[in-house]
């Protein structure tokens, strides 16, 4: 841990711990719930949130990232746990400018998987060793993981974190991200509903 402070949010005051990955130099955050991690003996609720500037900060409707982050903070503020915010994961690990190039191909009809393949990029270049190290530094070796992405659970397990369960994190799609979410479900194995119940803005 490099730095620690508090972060007042719409969901309460989180303890904010800053970490630096000694291998890559990336700087990550752990946001600890106002209620703490968990009741004694229970696995805390944990969200690994991959950095998404366009979704988290700019309100992009192309993805569900910003709404997932807000929902995660609300749940963890209420129930205890930690949000690990992973920087260097922009565009599933290929970087911001590459993500924008992939968006341009999506505007021409490619889906999110094929766009990165057409650019000669990996579909998903993220790894979760840093997240596991942060959790271990916080004393967390067993978690209930808040995710739709089984690859995140696999990454934590590989790094020695025990996953007691997966809790889905589903937000209503909108016309701008419906195809993207369907692709994540159908081609990337994300656990998302087959038929959206509500499509915002439709």
pLDDT at 202: 40
Of 124, 157, 167, 191, the active-site residue reads 124
Class of domain 3-89+126-188: alpha beta
Is 124 one of the annotated active-site residues of the chain? Answer: yes
> Which of 7, 139, 12, 161 lies closest to 85 in space, CA to CA?
7
Is 187 one of the annotated active-site residues of the chain? Answer: no
* 44 touches 57 (CB < 8 A): no
77-129: pLDDT as tens digits: 999 999 999 999 999 999 999 999 999 999 999 999 999 999 999 999 999 99
Residue ranges of the chain with pLDDT lower than 70?
Answer: 39-40, 194-202
Q: Return the domain boundaries, the chain.
A: 3-89+126-188
Question: pTM above the 0.85 mark?
Answer: yes
Cα–Cα separations (whole angstroms), residue 45 to 41, 55, 147, 156: 13, 22, 10, 14
pLDDT at 80: 95
Distance of CA 194 to the CA centre of its chain: 21
Half-sphere exposure of 64 (CA within 13 A, CB side): 26
> Which of 61, 59, 35, 33 lies closest to 47 in space, CA to CA?
33
């Amino acid at each position: 841990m490099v730095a620690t402070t508090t972060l007042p949010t719409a969901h309460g005051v989180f303890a904010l711990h800053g970490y630096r990955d000694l291998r890559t130099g990336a700087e990550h955050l752990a946001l600890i719930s106002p209620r703490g991690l968990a009741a004694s003996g229970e696995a805390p609720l944990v969200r690994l949130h991959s950095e998404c500037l366009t979704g988290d900060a700019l309100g992009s409707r192309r993805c569900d990232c910003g709404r997932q982050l807000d929902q995660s903070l609300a749940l963890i503020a209420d129930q205890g746990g930690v949000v690990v915010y992973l920087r260097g994961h922009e565009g599933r690990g290929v970087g911001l400018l590459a993500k924008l190039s992939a968006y341009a191909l999506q505007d021409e009809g490619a889906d999110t998987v094929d766009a990165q393949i057409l650019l000669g990029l990996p579909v998903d270049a993220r790894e979760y060793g840093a997240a596991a190290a942060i959790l271990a530094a916080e004393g967390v070796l067993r978690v209930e993981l808040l995710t739709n992405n089984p690859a995140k659970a696999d990454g934590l397990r590989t790094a020695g974190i025990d996953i007691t369960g997966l809790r889905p994190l589903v937000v209503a799609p909108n016309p701008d991200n419906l195809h993207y979410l369907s692709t994540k479900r159908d081609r990337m194995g994300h656990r998302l509903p087959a038929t959206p119940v509500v499509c915002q803005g439709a």
